[in-house]
Amino acid sequence: MLVRIFGSAIHGVDAITITIEVNVGQGTRFCLVGLPDNAVKESEYRIETVIKNTGYKMPRLRTVVNMAPADIRKAGAAYDLPIALGILAASEQAVFQQPIASFVIMGELGLDGTMRPIRGALPMAMRARQEGFTAMILPMQNALEAAMVEGLSVYGMTHVREVLDFLEGREVFTPVPPCAYQPGFPEGLDFSEVKGQETIKRAMEIAAAGGHNMLLVGPPGAGKTMLARRLPTILPPLTLAEALETTRIHSVAGKLNAADGILTTRPFRSPHHTISEMAMVGGGSIPQPGEISLAQHGILFLDELPEYRRSVLEVLRQPMEERSVSISRARQAMEFPATFQLVASMNPCPCGYFNHPEKPCTCHPGMVRKYLNRISGPLLDRIDLHVEVTPVRPDAMADAPAPEPSTHIRARVMAAREKQSKRFAIAGMDIIRTDKKRQPDAFCNAQMNSGQLEKYCALGPEARQLLSAAMNRLQLSARAYNRILKVARTIADLDDAEHISPHHIAGAIQYRTLDRENWGA
């Protein structure tokens, strides 16, 4: 008897429907075909034990399991459940009363038949809905995640017996109700805890309002890391579309907490400086998302930037421009999204005290410039805000007024983002997967293309003259010119100004600290 059961395979951050065909006929050999990896091949022994432990018999006839399409590699143990159900149905030990062709079924099995969580439940559910399936059976730990997809009945099960009882009509199960999406913010961190540093807070407000990349330069203990970790508290909340796309990436990477179901806060990724190029951008024999993709719609924080290997930093350049990264291997090529906001910090010199107001720098002449040269010019060009952080004196901290809380700053940031949303005409900021052949739509000022720059960043004669003088004096590149315009547009949005004025341009220029000709001298 031939039985077809539908499963799913992860390809990048998307899913592909897999047809699992099981045929039991004359002979004595178990045969599994369709380009399975070792984990899938080993399922024969797990499934045989599960079938015996649940009161059924493993057929001693020739059993052929085909996983189509055959040219796509199937990886992992998540195919245990559909293969086991296919064997029981093909050997006529189970007679399904439910319309099995309308289900996508996935789950790893323990030897006693318990179902274990799998990776990529959300992209599997999205693909199932797209291809017209009406229901999905998954381990209970993955049910909340998949239930976020509307129009798909998701059944969370804990044991293979429950699946058989449901499919054979002996018991009735209720689909997992989807949870209402409620965006959240990081807990335990707030700008009200930061005394002083008002200039730096203003720069971080600009970075949050426009989605700009940022580099904090200052001596040890000045508060660079403390400020960077509080930046997510003033970012706008994740929209449902952003949350689904970010959750999909974390689900594929196996980094999603099953109890959450969906990410509600913007990710904050802070990899150690010993990270490899592959871990940063993604890759592997079966390509997996890297840190830049895990930071999708959030922040990638690189502490002590010059300590990262130069080759690791250089791989960031293309994703920062294109907001995606293509991973090519001999047999396949995958594209991972990479819409992240880069925030980095560094000491100004090897000893850390260059430009310190009190402590002298002990570095030899030229060492400051040499230290900065660990970061390439093209990468610095792609960072909009270079901000010098100076330490706050203890007496100034004691006399400082009560700091402004994150909620007040976030309100101004969200007002500026609302202006940008209307300007770029993206209702609801729905940015799930755009056409790969064109540049994704901008949803903040940092992502404006050349046409949008020309349209929304027109300058008057005085502002143009000021910017031209700064370009000549600092010898900035055309990319830096565009970055200054984008930052000026964000400052104007925060000021609720329709046009960019000279003081907006001046404010944007002052954040190009490392472009000054006397820096490091």
pLDDT tens digits, one per residue of 473-494: 877 888 888 899 999 999 999 9
Q: Has residue 398 got a pLDDT over 80?
A: no
Q: Could you identify the residue written with the tokens 């995640």? A: 145
SS (H, E, C) 289-342: ECHHHHCCCCEEEECCHHHCCHHHHHCCHHHHHHCEEEEECCCCEEEEECCCEE
Neighbours of 297 (CB within 10 A): 24
Q: Which residue has the higher pLDDT, 388 or 28?
A: 388
Q: Which residue has the higher pLDDT, 262 or 399?
A: 262
Tens digits of residue pLDDT in 286-310 = 788 999 999 999 999 999 999 999 9
- 440 contacts: CB under 8 Å, gap ≥ 6: 323, 324, 339, 431, 434, 447
Contact between 63 and 88 (Cβ < 8 Å): no
Angle at 93 between CA 87 and CA 97, to 5 degrees: 95
Global pTM reads 0.87
| Percentage above 90 pLDDT, the chain | 57
Q: How far is CA 75 from CA 16, 67, 209, in A?
A: 12, 11, 42
- Type of residue at 210: G
SS (H, E, C) 226-242: HHHHCHHHHCCCCCHHH
Cα distance between residue 68 and residue 61, in whole Å: 22
pLDDT at 437: 39
pLDDT at 473: 83
The whole-number average pLDDT for the span 37-63 is: 91
Burial of 61 (C-beta count, 10 Å sphere; 0-12/13-18/19+): middle
Contact between 67 and 34 (Cβ < 8 Å): yes
pLDDT at 22: 94
pLDDT at 438: 40
Q: Has residue 435 got a pLDDT over 80?
A: no
Contact between 495 and 205 (Cβ < 8 Å): no
pLDDT at 47: 94
Q: Could you identify the residue written with the tokens 């895990």? A: 294
pLDDT at 433: 41
Q: How far is CA 238 from CA 63, 257, 263, 410, 429, in A?
A: 48, 17, 9, 13, 10
The whole-number average pLDDT for the span 28-36 is: 88
pLDDT at 441: 66
| Residue of 239, 237, 254 whose CA lies nearest to 145 | 254
- Of 94-108, 223-237, 505-519, least confident by mean pLDDT is 505-519
Q: Would you place residue 519 in the very low, low, confident or very high pLDDT band (cuts 50, 70, 90)?
A: low
Give the DSSP H/E element, type plus range, for residue 19. Answer: strand 14-25
pLDDT at 171: 92
Cα distance between residue 413 and residue 504, in whole Å: 17
pLDDT at 520: 55
Residue 185 DSSP code: -
Contact between 8 and 14 (Cβ < 8 Å): no
- Type of residue at 357: P
Q: Taking the mean position of all CA atoms in its chain, how far away is CA 412?
A: 25
pLDDT at 516: 58
Cα distance between residue 120 and residue 76, in whole Å: 11
Q: How far is CA 153 from CA 8, 373, 442, in A?
A: 16, 56, 34
Tens digits of residue pLDDT in 97-114 = 999 999 999 999 999 999
Q: How far is CA 493 from CA 296, 431, 456, 488, in A?
A: 24, 22, 11, 9
Q: How many helices (H) and strands (E) does the chain have?
A: 21, 18
HSE-up (13 A, CA, CB side) for residue 378: 10
Tokens representing 500 are 């960019």
Tens digits of residue pLDDT in 323-367 = 999 888 767 788 899 999 999 999 988 988 888 888 888 888 788
Q: Has residue 434 got a pLDDT over 60?
A: no
Cα distance between residue 461 and residue 208, in whole Å: 29
